[in-house]
Amino acid sequence: MSAAAIDPALLEIVRRRLEGIAEEMQGILLRSAVSPIVREANDASASLFLPDGTVMAQSVSLPLLLGCLVPAVSRMVANFPVSRMQEGDVYLMNDPYDGGTHIPDVSLLVPVFAEGRVIALAGTILHHQDLGGLTPGSVPTNATEIYQEGLRLPPLQLSRAGKADPQILRIIACNTRTPDAFEWDLNAQISACRTGAARMAELAERYGVSQLTTLMEELVGRAEAATRAAIRAIPDGSWRYCDFLDNDGVDLDRPVRVEVEVSIRGDDVTIDFTGTSPQVRGPINAVPAGVMAGAFFAICAVTGPDIPNNGGCFRPLRLVLPEGSLVNPKPPAAVNARTATVKILTNAILGALAQALPDRIPAANAGVSVVMALSGRNADGTAFVVTEAMQGGSGASARGPGVNVISTDVGNTMNQPVEAMESDAPVRVRHLAVRRNSGGEGLHTGGCGALREYEVLHGPMTLTFRGERHFNRARGAAGGGDGAVAEAYILRQNGTREVIRSKLSTILQSGDRLVMATAGGGGWGKGE
C-alpha cells in the first residue's frame, strides 16, 4: 500500500486504537501496582514501539519516563535482536549507564507476535519502591558513586518462551528491602505489556500485518513532517538561558549551573548544553536518557498537541551533551536525583524558546518534584518504605495565571492523598494546604506551592529528602515577579529546629515533625 493510497479515516482509526492500547496498559500499571508512588502518584508509563525501537504510541502519563523508555528499549533490542525473540519472552533493565535513567526505574519489554513474526514491542517503565543502596528508596542524597545507589540490572532476559528465570528474581529479591512489593509491581508491568501485546495481535488480525505495518510507519512519517512544519514556523535564530540547582546534595554551599542554547535552522532544532557545570560529586547528574526526555517534551510543547506523539516528532532534534558534564556524566558518577536536573534543564530549554515565542511559553515553573522517602518499622515490627513526590506551582503566561501545586513539564505525578500516606507509614499529616502568595506577582500571578507537615508516630524512621528551589527562584517573564523559594525544616520533639538545605538524609524519632513548603512559579507581565 502506497502513502497516496492510504485511507485517512483508517489511518486516524488505527492511530486512536494504538493510543488506546497504550492507555489500557497504563491503566493496568496503576490499578495493579501496590507501591504508593505508583498506585497514588502514578509514577509509571507505557508505550508501544516498532520492531526497530521507534516509539509508536504513548500513554498520557509522565513525559520523563516516556522519554527514558525510548533508549532503554533500544538497548534491549540491541542486546536481544528481534529476529531471535520468541512468544512469551520478557526483557528488563535499569542500568543508567546502559540506556536507563536511575536505578528505581525498571524498564520491561515484551515482543508482539503476529503471523509468526515480531510486528511491534510493548514496553513499560515503573518506579520501584526500593532496589537497595545506601538509603531506603534507593535515592540517597549523599551518594557519590552509582555503586551506593542500588542494584544495577543490564539488559536481561527475564522470561524465555513464557518461563521466568528464577535466578534473576532471586538476585533482585536479595537486593531490595521490599521484595514482595517489587514482585507485585513487576507483575503489574508484565501484565500491562502482555495485554498490550494481545491487543496489538488483535489489531493485526483485523487489518493484516502488512497493512498495519504500513499504517504504523506512515503515522511516524507524518508526525515527523508535521513537527518539521511547526518548527519552520519558528523564526531562525539562537537563544540562551541559564538556571541553577541549589546544590548537589554533597557540597551544600555550591550551586550547580545549567546552561543551554537552542538553535532553530529551518526545520531542525539543536539543543546545546555547552556551558553547563561539569559532573558533580553528588547524585544530581543526569544521564542522556533523562536529558532526551526533557528535550522531547520541550519540542512537543512548542509544536502543538495535534501531532501524533511518536518517534517521528524527535527526528528533527539534535542534542549536544558535553562528555563529563552534569548532563552526560562519566561512570561511576551518582545519578539517582536526576529528576531535579531534568526539570530545571527542561525549564531552561523552554526559557530559551520563550525569547522566540514570548506569547506562547509561560514563565518558569517551580521546576521541582520534591522527593521524600520514609522508611522504618511499624509498631508490629513489619518494615515499610514509602516515597512521595510533592509539587510546586506552574508559571503564569500571557493567557492567565499559573496553577497551584501541580506537576509540570516532564513530570505528571499526582499529589498523594493524606489517607494513603497515613495508611502506608506510621505518620500523621498535621497540615496540608496551598502555600498562599508563593507565586510570582504580575499581570498574571504564578502558581503557588504547597505546605505539608508530618508528625512521626513511631520512630526511629529514616528520612531522605530531595528538594530544589531553596536558593534559586523560578523566574518571571515579561516583567512578572519571581516565585517564592522553597523551605523545609525538622521540628525535633525537644523543641530544636533543623533547617534542611535542599537535600538531606537523617533519622527522625517519635514526635519529630517535618515541615515542607514547595516553591512557586514565576509571574507573567507587569502588574497594574
The pLDDT value recorded for residue 416 is 82
Share of the chain above pLDDT 90, in %: 91
Predicted confidence at residue 252, as pLDDT, reads: 92
What does the pLDDT look like over 467-526, one tens digit per residue?
A: 999 999 999 999 999 999 999 999 999 999 999 999 999 999 999 999 999 999 999 999
Q: pLDDT digits over 346-368, tens only?
A: 999 999 999 999 999 999 999 87
- Residue-range domain boundaries for the chain: 3-224, 362-528
Rg (CA), the chain: 23
> What is the model's pLDDT at position 346?
96
The Cα 347–Cα 439 span in angstroms is 16
Q: Render pLDDT for 361-408 as a digit per residue (tens, 0 to 9).
A: 999 999 877 888 999 998 888 889 998 889 999 999 999 999 999 999
Q: What is the pLDDT of residue 389?
A: 87
Q: Report residue 414's pLDDT band, with 50, 70 and 90 as the boundaries.
A: confident
Helices then strands, counting H and E runs in the chain, come out as 9, 20
C-alpha cell belonging to residue 337: 536525583
Asked whether the beta carbons of 283 and 270 are under 8 A apart, the reply is no
Whether 44 shows a pLDDT value over 70: the answer reads: yes
CA 32, CA 414: separation in Å to the nearest integer? 17
Q: What is the band of 306 on the pLDDT scale with cuts at 50, 70, 90? A: confident
- CB 316, CB 269: distance < 8 Å: yes
Instruction: Say if residue 44 is exposed, middle or buried (CB neighbours under 10 Å; 0-12, 13-18, 19+).
Output: buried
Instruction: For 61-95, give one letter per residue: b (16+ CB within 10 A) or e.
Output: bbbbbbbbbbbbbbbbbeebeeeebeebbbbbbbb
* Residue 109 pLDDT exceeds 80: yes
Report residue 18's pLDDT band, with 50, 70 and 90 as the boundaries.
very high
Average pLDDT over residues 44-57: 97
Q: Is the pLDDT of residue 76 over 60?
A: yes
Query: In degrees to the nearest 10, what's the CA dihedral of 302, 304, 307, 309?
Result: 60
Where are any strands of DSSP class E within 1-104? 44-49, 55-58, 90-93
pLDDT higher than threshold 60 for residue 2: no
Q: What mean pLDDT is predicted for residues 123-144? A: 95
Average pLDDT, the chain: 95
pLDDT at 348: 97
Beta bridge partners of 428: 455
Rounded average pLDDT over 135-153: 95
* DSSP 3-state of 504: strand
The pTM score is 0.95
Strand order in 497-499's β-sheet? 427-435, 449-456, 513-517, 487-491, 497-499
- For the stretch 251-303, pLDDT in tens is 999 999 999 999 999 999 999 999 999 999 999 999 999 999 999 999 999 99
Q: How confident is the model at residue 50 (pLDDT cuts 50, 70, 90)?
A: very high
Tell me the backbone φ, ψ of residue 461, rounded to 5 degrees.
-140, 130
> Considering all CA atoms of the chain, what is the largest pairwise distance in Å, rounded to the nearest integer?
77
C-alpha cell, 447: 502558581
Residue 369 has what pLDDT? 79
Q: Give the strand pairing for 90-93 and 383-391.
A: unpaired
Grid cell in block for residue 110: 515484551
Question: In the predicted model, what is the mean pLDDT of residues 208-233?
Answer: 96
- In this structure, the number of other CB atoms found within 10 A of the CB of residue 345 comes to 31
The separation between the first and the last C-alpha atoms of the chain, rounded to the nearest angstrom, is 60
pLDDT exceeds cutoff 60 at 1: no
Name the amino acid, one letter, at 118.
Answer: V
One-letter amino acid at 148 equals Q
